Chains A and B, each alone.
Chain A
Amino acid sequence: DTEVTQTPKHLVMGMTNKKSLKCEQHMGHRAMYWYKQKAKKPPELMFVYSYEKLSINESVPSRFSPECPNSSLLNLHLHALQPEDSALYLCASSQEETGYSYEQYFGPGTRLTVT
């Protein structure tokens, strides 16, 4: 099973709302990622969790708050977003082993619109 699931598929939220994106994988991967992708651009890395600990935060504004409750789940909590945060948010996972770089498996994404 090489599936990464994400919910919801679409989300429209106002600038004062609080919402959460969810991601789940059952491949036993110990690295999980959040990316943001704008139209006609490559994915931009936001956060990386390695063994359920936050490894990398790519200077993401605090209105985005990641959480990794266990090795299979990854959440992204959203609060007080701006219209420019509208994008496709992709979750991915990969194996984690020092000295190697493994392919990432991506979920279908959440298309977020901030009004």
Chain B
Amino acid sequence: AQKVTQAQTEISVVEKEDVTLDCVYETRDTTYYLFWYKQPPSGELVFLIRRNSFDEQNEISGRYSWNFQKSTSSFNFTITASQVVDSAVYFCALSGFLLRKTSYDKVIFGPGTSLSVIP
């Protein structure tokens, strides 16, 4: 079965602190993709990153960084020097090829982690 777990339901940090959002996934696919999306209070989901299962390189984009470890089936997301604008719900998501009914992949979303950054 395909599953995404985000064990942290809610996190609160003080501005400028670093915070790591955990994501653990389960899949039987050998080829799969992982994503992170941000949903601010306005409601629109914003794509942050896509990573395929063959690329375990960590990635850094500004204050954001991602740590992909296949050995532990984790794809964690770290925000450095958090800001109030980072307050949002963050979803980790997985798509794999076992679920393909057509050429389309069904994306499995985790339950989300609500991050509050306090000024």
Partner of B103, one of A42, A50, A92, A109: A50
Could you tell me how many residues of chain B have their Cβ less than 8 Å away from some Cβ of chain A? 27
Alpha-carbon separation in the docked complex, A76 to B46 (Å): 22
Determine whether B101 belongs to the interface, using a CB cutoff of 8 Å to chain A. yes
Known interface pairs A41-B111, A42-B109, A43-B109. Does A48 touch B43 (Cβ–Cβ under 8 Å)?
no
**A107 to B103, Cβ gap below 8 A?**
no
A70 to B101, CA, bound (A): 22
Q: What 14 additional pairs, Cβ within 8 angstroms, besides A56-B106, A108-B43?
A: A43-B45, A43-B91, A45-B106, A55-B101, A55-B104, A56-B102, A56-B104, A101-B52, A101-B95, A101-B96, A106-B37, A106-B47, A107-B44, A108-B42
Encode contact with B along A89-115: 1 for CB under 8 Å, 0 otherwise.
010100011110111111111010000
In the complex, the answer to whether A109 meets B44 with C-beta atoms within 8 Å is yes
Which residues on B are within 8 Å of A, measured CB to CB? 32-33, 35, 37, 42-47, 50, 52, 91, 95-96, 101-107, 109-112, 114
Interface of A is mostly: loop
Q: How many residues of A contact B (CB 8 A)?
A: 27
Q: Which A residues are in CB contact (< 8 Å) with B44?
A: 90, 106-109
Please indicate the chain A residues that have their CB under 8 angstroms from the CB of B37 in the complex.
Answer: 106
**In the docked arrangement, what's the CA distance between A55 and B107, Å?**
14
In the complex, the answer to whether A56 meets B43 with C-beta atoms within 8 Å is: no
Q: Is A81 an interface residue (CB 8 A)?
A: no
CB <8 Å contact, B112 and A56: no
Q: Does A88 contact B (CB under 8 A)?
A: yes
